Amino acid sequence: VNLYEVKQTVKLSGLDLDGRVLDIGGGGEGIIGRLLGHGTVSIDRWSKELIEAREAGSGALMIEMDATDMKFLDETFDACTSFFSLMYMEPEEQEKVFREAWRVLKHGGEFWVWDITIPERGAREEDVFVVWLDVRMHDTNVRAGYGAQWASRRQDISSFRNLAAAAGFEPVEASLDDQVIFLRLRKPPRAESPLA
């Protein structure tokens, strides 16, 4: 294994999501579940990742579930998050996850996405892309290392914006802080019936 490493910082101090929140890929460090606690439902494909998150202090309800094929009813959640989880998925999986997030969100609900820009690997020898994150929360800082197979994968803010738009989301905010992507997306409120 040959690592390509980047160091980045994310500030999460202003995170205020109300209601029932779904955290996609919430295992590992379980950052969102640690911040938001009991109102959060964290899903992950691997239960061992969820156990790790629980041990790290996540107070979320944990369910082993594939985010490309969620078992929740339509319009279940007030908000949805994905914190450095999409970087672990192939583009086809990412596309399904945006559609599933849209489906399970209530109208007017927001999907907040944090992720990393992954450039084209090209002829580089490194085969694993690693981001070392310094996560700044209100009272603590957490260091996390997230690594994924690089292969032919690349992703950036515009690839995510395109997937989001194709799934039906409207952009509320999109920003790039060095290589960290942040998107705030909204499932449009239900259109009023012209007959009402």
| Interacting residues with ligand SAM (CB under 6 A) | 25-32, 43-46, 49, 66-68, 83-85, 88-89, 93, 144, 146
Instruction: Report the residue number, 69 or 125, with the smaller CB distance to ligand SAM.
Output: 69
- Least Cβ distance, residue 50 to ligand SAM (angstroms): 8
- Least Cβ distance, residue 44 to ligand SAM (angstroms): 4
Starting at the edge strand found earlier in the chain, the sheet holding 141-149 runs 3-11, 128-136, 141-149
Round to whole Å and give the CA distance between 77 and 103: 10
Find out whether 175 and 156 touch, Cβ atoms under 8 Å. Answer: no
- Least Cβ distance, residue 71 to ligand SAM (angstroms): 12
Instruction: Report the residue number, 107 or 152, with the smaller CB distance to ligand SAM.
Output: 152
- Least Cβ distance, residue 149 to ligand SAM (angstroms): 12
Instruction: Report the residue number, 128 or 144, with the smaller CB distance to ligand SAM.
Output: 144
Q: Is 188 helix (H, G, I), strand (E, B) or coil?
A: coil
Instruction: Report the residue number, 107 or 166, with the smaller CB distance to ligand SAM.
Output: 166
Round to whole Å and give the CA distance between 87 and 65: 17
Residue nearest to ligand SAM (CB): 25
Q: Which residue has the tokens 């959060």?
A: 40
Q: Which residue has the tokens 């994968």?
A: 153
3-state secondary structure 8-59: EEEECCCCCCCCCEEEECCCCCCHHHHHHHHHEEEEECCHHHHHHHHHCCCC
Instruction: Report the residue number, 30 or 109, with the smaller CB distance to ligand SAM.
Output: 30
- Least Cβ distance, residue 29 to ligand SAM (angstroms): 3
- Least Cβ distance, residue 69 to ligand SAM (angstroms): 8
Instruction: Report the residue number, 45 or 161, with the smaller CB distance to ligand SAM.
Output: 45
Give the residue from 27, 10, 44 showing the smallest Cα distance to 112: 10
